[in-house]
């Protein structure tokens, strides 16, 4: 099936962000990320505004044009950001307080630090809030669910997790996880027990070439869109299908690549 999506896409291989329509070749616009290295996380803030985390902080972008509207450049090793409904911003990463360990910082609307949580550790990727007010932290070979102070609640594990990238609680209480180099998706129940995996190499056609399942987004109708990152560097565009679509049961519906313009998708935001 040919995919029909408009999205913001972070091409990690070429360090660019682009506005893409999968029904058309090329991009509506594309901009270099040299000033915002290691951009990973994206959150839509409004009809024409997006929040993007990068290695030193975060910036806000106009979706229609790619114009940078605001930025905060303050740390090192930021891996994830989130804007809350009250206007505050969560910043997650390693050693953000210069004391070692994993941090989640809370900034108020004026970007002043108002709260800081910390726990031991030296690796984290994307962070998401839980319904209970805690966090889901991607900690390489497992997902750590914590309370608001980063105290451990439970660990979510599946064989094959390696650099697990993103975990997100769903409305039904389950948690979806992209397995990183495991090259599959996993779903856990409310107690952190593994329910199922899908999208692995034995479950999709060879041309998909699962390599590293990175950012994903679940649509309102249950469909799941997944970035299948294919490696560092500028010449990975022909290695596999880089954008995958699954139905709610985990069956592959289709895939998309644009090898002339995209090397390696990592971050996606379906618009």
Question: Got the DSSP string for 224-261?
Answer: EEEEEE--SSS--TTSS--EEEE-TTS-EEEEE--TTT
Dihedral (CA of 188, 135, 217, 254) sign: negative
**Domains of the chain by residue range:** 6-270
Q: Which residue from 198, 196, 199 is spatially nearest to 187, judged by alpha carbons?
A: 196
Predicted confidence (pLDDT) per residue in 9-19, tens digit:
999 999 999 99
Mean pLDDT of 2-13: 95
Cα–Cα distance between 194 and 175 in angstroms, integer?
Answer: 9
Q: What are the φ and ψ backbone dihedral angles of 206, each rounded to 5 degrees?
A: -55, -35
Cα–Cα distance between 157 and 9 in angstroms, integer?
Answer: 28
Mean pLDDT of 258-265: 95
pLDDT at 195 over 90: yes
The model's pTM is: 0.96
| Token duo for residue 170 | 């769903």
Q: What are the φ and ψ backbone dihedral angles of 19, each rounded to 5 degrees?
A: -100, 120
Answer yes or no: CATH 2.40.50.40 is held by domain 6-270: no
Predicted confidence (pLDDT) per residue in 91-140, tens digit:
999 999 999 999 999 999 999 999 999 999 999 999 999 999 999 999 99
Predicted confidence (pLDDT) per residue in 85-100, tens digit:
999 999 999 999 999 9
| Token duo for residue 176 | 């979806």
pLDDT of residue 2: 79
pLDDT at 77 over 80: yes
117 neighbors 104 (Cβ within 8 angstroms): yes
Cα–Cα distance between 60 and 139 in angstroms, integer?
Answer: 26
């Amino acid at each position: 099936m040919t995919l029909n999506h408009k999205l913001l896409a972070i091409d990690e291989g070429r360090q660019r962000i682009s506005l893409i329509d999968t029904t058309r070749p090329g991009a509506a616009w594309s901009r270099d990320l040299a000033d915002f290295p290691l951009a990973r996380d994206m959150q839509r803030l409004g009809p024409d505004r997006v929040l993007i985390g990068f290695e030193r902080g975060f910036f806000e972008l106009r979706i229609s044009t790619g114009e940078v509207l605001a930025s905060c450049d303050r740390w090192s090793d930021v891996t994830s950001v989130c804007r809350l409904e009250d206007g505050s911003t969560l910043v997650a990463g390693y050693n953000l307080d210069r004391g070692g360990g994993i941090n989640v910082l809370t900034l108020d609307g004026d970007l002043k630090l108002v709260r800081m949580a910390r726990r031991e550790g030296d690796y984290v990727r994307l962070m998401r809030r839980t319904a209970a007010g805690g966090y889901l932290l991607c900690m390489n070979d497992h997902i750590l669910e914590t309370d608001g102070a980063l105290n451990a609640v439970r660990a979510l594990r599946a064989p094959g997790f390696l650099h697990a990238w993103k975990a997100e609680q769903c409305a039904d209480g389950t948690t979806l996880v992209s397995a990183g180099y495991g090259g599959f998706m996993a779903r856990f129940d409310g107690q952190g027990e593994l329910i199922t995996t899908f999208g692995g190499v034995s479950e999709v056609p060879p041309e998909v070439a699962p390599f590293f399942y990175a950012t994903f987004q679940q649509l309102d109708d249950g469909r799941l869109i997944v970035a299948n990152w294919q490696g560092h560097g500028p010449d990975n565009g022909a290695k596999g299908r880089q954008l995958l679509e699954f139905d709610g049961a985990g069956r592959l519906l289709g895939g998309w690549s644009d090898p002339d313009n995209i090397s390696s998708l990592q971050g996606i935001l379906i618009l």
